[in-house]
């Protein structure tokens, strides 16, 4: 999950960043009478991912003759969209992190699709409700979810078989197995029993411990709690046992290289793992916490139509084609290894007959999305994660880290209420 820039800062910078549009691809153009209408889609996906999206736009373009969708990657797509809206030159469609919808819809940057959904009788119950909820704001729907993900337990099958182990289902089992699978030589860690390198996964562990990130009103943080301490104490028990040392495997894929027995990973990494012929791996649901709570976090992307788009009908046609037709959701999963936000697509044999994909899909049943509270992204990026990093490095105790993050986080939430 990428870090997010606060809306207030982005909006204040609209005028100053107007020059950015000069470097962007042209926004949508009016329809021509001699050919299909051109639909311009922006998104943050770049590099090799552009080819993945291009395969989808090509399939759609070949499926009908009224529209031609063209994907144009953009850095800082959210900020550029605000600039485009202010200047009246917007794309027709944007693919972005669903989390952004509730932040930008109140600013008038997006079109509601409620009337289109009703007119075309779109079955919203086909989507994972968590993902669909991230496309809403103020009781209105502003887009459809397309892709979902989560972190599940990825483990080295050969290492487990050599030690007569099966995938752990609880924190206690994970720690015991990790200790057995850890290998040191000369006092130096050679094989990590469990990679604990990403404090950004705190939300997942907190859910497994039965805790919450914010209170029900969304006015204060809630992670400085007995459950939050359970998470950090569990992490410390792993590092104290020598299962993981800070910096181990940095700059490499230690699991793919055979230098780690377990890690929390997402479906997007499957293609790279499959390319390692010497690696035999499996995927299992995340282990439950001390009281038996299941926990996982759901991220992913959706499609929205900006306010002022000139080819809204074409944008809607593509959005509906991708999101509501299960075969298209499955097709993109085969291209990218992301999971479809359409539950009917997720029931396809392509997923159920692949044990690794099936484990990721099963985890989606109880995965939670991030709080859609104004300012929460900054709570995570500026308060919580930095404090957790200091905890992992030994600069702060568990209690100090959570207390520090709470004070800073509550202040951020309070400032965003103004």
Structural domains in the chain, sorted by start: 7-150+299-364 (3.40.190.10), 152-297+374-415 (3.40.190.10)
Average of pLDDT values for 31-46? 85
Identify which of 166, 112, 169, 116 has the alpha carbon closest to the alpha carbon of residue 140. Answer: 112
Radius of gyration of the CA atoms of the chain, in A: 22
User: What confidence score (pLDDT) does residue 16 get?
Assistant: 37
User: What confidence score (pLDDT) does residue 102 get?
Assistant: 85
Average of pLDDT values for 115-143? 97
Answer yes or no: is pLDDT of 416 > 80.
Answer: yes
Q: Poorest-confidence range of 9-13, 27-31, 135-139, 250-254?
A: 9-13
Alpha-carbon gap, residue 115 to 94, rounded angstroms: 19
Pairwise pLDDT comparison (366 vs 86), residue with the higher score: 366
User: What confidence score (pLDDT) does residue 418 get?
Assistant: 63
Pairwise pLDDT comparison (380 vs 17), residue with the higher score: 380
User: What confidence score (pLDDT) does residue 26 get?
Assistant: 41
Three-state secondary-structure class, residue 51: helix
Q: Poorest-confidence range of 24-33, 205-214, 403-412?
A: 24-33
User: What confidence score (pLDDT) does residue 79 get?
Assistant: 85
Q: Poorest-confidence range of 11-25, 247-261, 353-367?
A: 11-25
Q: Poorest-confidence range of 14-23, 207-216, 362-371, 378-387?
A: 14-23
Average of pLDDT values for 243-265? 95
User: What confidence score (pLDDT) does residue 33 get?
Assistant: 56
Average of pLDDT values for 104-109? 91
Task: Give residue-wise pLDDT tens across range 66-98.
Answer: 999 999 999 989 889 988 988 888 999 999 999
CB atoms within 10 A of CB 67: 23
Question: For the residues of 200-262, what is the DSSP string, one character each?
Answer: GGHHHHHHHTT--SB-TTSSSB--SSHHHHHHHHHHHHHHHTTS--TTTTTTS-TTTTT-BSE
Pairwise pLDDT comparison (5 vs 125), residue with the higher score: 125
Mean pLDDT for the chain overall: 91
Q: In sequence order, which ranges of 66-201 are alpha helices (DSSP H)? A: 77-87, 101-104, 114-119, 129-133, 157-162, 171-181
Task: Give residue-wise pLDDT tens across range 273-294.
Answer: 999 999 999 999 999 999 999 9
Structure token digits, residue 51: 């080819």
Quick one: angle between helices 398-415 and 385-392, nearest 10? 170
Task: Give residue-wise pLDDT tens across range 150-203.
Answer: 999 999 999 999 999 999 999 999 999 999 999 999 999 999 999 999 999 999
Answer yes or no: is pLDDT of 377 > 90.
Answer: no
């Amino acid at each position: 999950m990428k870090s997010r820039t606060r809306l207030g800062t982005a909006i204040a910078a609209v005028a100053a960043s107007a020059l950015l549009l000069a470097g962007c691809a042209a926004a949508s153009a009016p329809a021509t009478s001699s050919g299909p209408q051109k639909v311009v889609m922006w998104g943050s996906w770049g590099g090799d991912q552009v080819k993945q999206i291009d395969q989808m736009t090509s399939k759609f373009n070949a499926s009908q003759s009224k529209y031609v969708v063209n994907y144009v990657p953009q850095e800082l797509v959210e900020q550029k969209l605000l600039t485009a809206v202010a200047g009246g030159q917007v794309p027709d469609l944007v693919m972005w992190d669903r989390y952004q919808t509730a932040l930008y819809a109140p600013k008038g940057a997006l079109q509601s699709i409620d009337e289109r959904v009703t007119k075309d009788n779109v079955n919203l119950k086909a989507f994972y409700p968590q993902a669909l909820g991230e496309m809403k704001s103020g009781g209105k729907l502003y887009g459809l979810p397309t892709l979902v993900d989560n972190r599940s337990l990825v483990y080295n099958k050969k290492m487990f078989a050599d030690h007569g182990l099966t995938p752990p289902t609880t924190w206690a089992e994970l720690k015991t197995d990790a200790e057995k699978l850890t290998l040191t030589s000369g006092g130096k860690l050679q094989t990590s029993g469990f990679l604990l390198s990403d404090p950004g996964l705190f939300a997942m562990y907190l859910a497994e411990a039965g805790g919450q990130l914010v209170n029900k009103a969304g006015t204060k943080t809630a992670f400085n709690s007995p459950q939050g301490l359970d998470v950090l104490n569990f992490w410390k028990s792993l590092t104290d046992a020598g299962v993981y040392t800070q910096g181990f495997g940095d700059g490499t894929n230690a699991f793919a290289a055979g230098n780690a027995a377990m890690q929390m990973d997402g479906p997007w990494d499957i293609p790279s793992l499959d390319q390692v012929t010497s690696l035999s791996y499996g995927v299992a649901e995340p282990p439950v916490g001390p009281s038996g709570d299941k926990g996982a976090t759901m991220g992913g992307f959706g499609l929205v139509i900006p306010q002022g788009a000139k080819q809204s009908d074409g944008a809607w046609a593509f959005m509906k084609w991708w999101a509501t037709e299960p075969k298209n959701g499955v097709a993109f999963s085969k291209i990218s290894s992301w999971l479809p936000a359409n539950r009917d697509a997720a029931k396809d044999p392509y997923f159920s007959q692949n044990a690794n994909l099936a484990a990721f899909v099963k985890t989606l049943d109880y995965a939670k999305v991030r709080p859609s509270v104004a300012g929460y992204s900054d709570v995570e990026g500026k308060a919580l994660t930095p404090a957790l990093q200091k905890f992992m490095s030994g600069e702060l105790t568990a209690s100090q880290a959570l207390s520090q993050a709470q004070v800073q986080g509550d202040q951020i939430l309070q400032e965003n209420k103004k």
